[in-house]
Structure 1
């Protein structure tokens, strides 16, 4: 249990970095700078999200959290899946700009919901 605070800190940092990298890539696309796709910005979010997921699973195991017993955690997982789907559409240049903008807004809203649930842990 001594590792729990460190794992939680790494998880939180990776979560904030996820949002930052997503917004950065959106802004670069919006500014007409698709060259980021040939830089580490193309794969860095995937590495970060792998760390984020590994830390989340570690927290589940070490903290004894149960998705079925904590409805906020189940909702967080559903929002995560929605964020991934919307983020995929938002980042794909083959979709038209209105579809990508709508997907980006949806992804950001879901990310905000995930952050809210992580901080407040409301009882439903």
Structure 2
């Protein structure tokens, strides 16, 4: 698969990831927890798997597999933080203040990931 196709697949699934996360946050915020019994419960996991496969493929196609630049390492660290914060943000057993804090942190981290992807500052 070509670099351009992989890059566009990666970008599309990244945008879809944040859209699905924000949608689930919104549904929780307006008191619609029923989304947990719909395909919206598992579709983000399928999308995120495609996103990860595209990212790993890009590492090899772009030649970063042997020596990752600093911005890419920072993206990976932020990604782990985003996943952890996202899990807490959507956890129904936590109180509302903790979930809001986790959601804000997750959104800040994903914003930083998008910035690093576009700017590649270091």
**TM-score for the superposition, normalised by structure 2:** 0.97
1:54 is matched with 53
1:89, CA displacement in angstroms?
0.3
* Number of aligned residues: 122
C-alpha separation between the residues in 2 aligned to 1:55 and 1:63?
12
> Is 1:7 paired with 2:6?
yes
2:79 is matched with 80
User: 1:80 touches 1:114 (CA, 8 Å); kept in 2?
Assistant: yes
User: 1:68 touches 1:74 (CA, 8 Å); kept in 2?
Assistant: no
C-alpha separation between the residues in 2 aligned to 1:17 and 1:52?
9
Output the aligned Cα RMSD.
1.1
1:66, CA displacement in angstroms?
4.4
1:93 is matched with 92
C-alpha separation between the residues in 1 aligned to 2:44 and 2:112?
19
C-alpha separation between the residues in 2 aligned to 1:32 and 1:68?
46
2:31 is matched with 32
1:83, CA displacement in angstroms?
0.2
**Counterpart of 2:92 in 1: which secondary structure?**
coil
Task: Note the 1:11-22 alignment, pairs <5 A.
Answer: 11-22=10-21
Structure 2: state its 5+ residue gaps: none
1:67, CA displacement in angstroms?
7.4
**TM-score for the superposition, normalised by structure 1:** 0.95
